[in-house]
Amino acid sequence: MALQKKVIWITGASSGIGEALAYEFNKKGAHLILSSRRLEELERVKENCSDSEESVKILPIDLSESEAMEKKVVEALALFGHVDMLINNGGISQRSYAVDTEMSTVRRVMEVNFFGTVALTKALLPTFIEQKSGHIVVISSVMGKFGTKYRSTYAASKHALQGYFDSLRQELYEHNVDVTLVCPGYVKTDVTINALTGSGEKYNEMGKGQKNAMPPEEFAKKLIPKLAAKKEEIYLGGAELMGVYLKRFVPGLFNKILKRVKVT
């Protein structure tokens, strides 16, 4: 897919992976719609892009407000006249034992990661179906493929995305609309700093896994050619990706390994 002037809508574009994707797509001449809650951070990302007045637009979105998504889609379509690719990247993580995780926190994570993403995608779907083209990308996680301690709700939200978008892909083949699920391993972003504790406070610590992980710029550079090739599922990360294959082929052994490994 030539990216020149393609309209790419990125949620969670104010930091980390979404920000890095914005810069990389901007270098390739794409037109961008940047969404997340923090307007001033979106403005900063826009300013760091070249030719930004012409090619970068901002559309603040709070993914916890599912009912607002139809209106947001109308606004997004008005910005460049159409959308070619939606990258559902915005999300929050969680670090707490399940027993200590309040239901309000479980609902909050599901609301942002799952319901918000589904509501936004569903609101855009009729347009993609009508134009007989479009690419829906979901930034899931290896936690969408297996679960570990301290991440029960986060893993649940990503497993839910996997199930939903695997099914949706089957429905969209006949409409020429593509669905890509991306499963990153560790990427060096603020995702754990921004994660929720059991009571819903900010975790405020950089996770050990993230500290020495792939920088988001490298992640974005590696991801874009795979998206352009319209791969249906993409894994990007380090040794933690082995978990996906161990879970699939030797689940009993994998559980024994996880039981002993110190997961933080």
Active site residues: 154
Which listed range, 70-78, 89-97, 226-234, 246-254, lies at the site for ligand NAP (CB under 6 A)?
Answer: 89-97
Interface with ligand NAP, residue 184, by CB under 6 A:
yes
Shortest CB 153 distance to ligand NAP, Å: 12
Shortest CB 94 distance to ligand NAP, Å: 10
Which listed range, 9-17, 24-32, 67-75, 249-257, lies at the site for ligand NAP (CB under 6 A)?
Answer: 9-17
Interface with ligand NAP, residue 148, by CB under 6 A:
no
Task: Give the other-Cβ count within 10 Å of 184's Cβ.
Answer: 25
Interface with ligand NAP, residue 218, by CB under 6 A:
no
| Smaller CB separation from ligand NAP, 129 or 258 | 258
| Smaller CB separation from ligand NAP, 102 or 217 | 217
Question: Do residues 198 and 96 make contact, with C-beta atoms less than 8 angstroms apart?
Answer: yes
Quickly list H helices, the chain.
16-27, 39-47, 52-55, 69-80, 103-110, 117-131, 152-172, 208-211, 216-228, 242-249, 251-260
Residue linked to tokens 């590696």: 222
Shortest CB 241 distance to ligand NAP, Å: 11
Shortest CB 127 distance to ligand NAP, Å: 21
Interface with ligand NAP, residue 15, by CB under 6 A:
yes
How is 58-123 classified by DSSP, letter by letter? E----TT-GGGHHHHHHHHHHHHS--SEEEE-----B-S-GGG--HHHHHHHHIIIIIIHHHHHHH
Question: Do residues 22 and 42 make contact, with C-beta atoms less than 8 angstroms apart?
Answer: no
Residue from 8, 58, 63, 179 that binds ligand NAP (CB under 6 A)?
Answer: 63
Residue from 3, 6, 8, 16 that binds ligand NAP (CB under 6 A)?
Answer: 16
Element (H, E) at 205: none
Interface with ligand NAP, residue 58, by CB under 6 A:
no
Give the residue among 219, 24, 221, 33 at the shortest CA–CA distance from 139. Answer: 219
Interface with ligand NAP, residue 90, by CB under 6 A:
yes
Interface with ligand NAP, residue 71, by CB under 6 A:
no
Structure-block tokens of residue 33: 């719609």
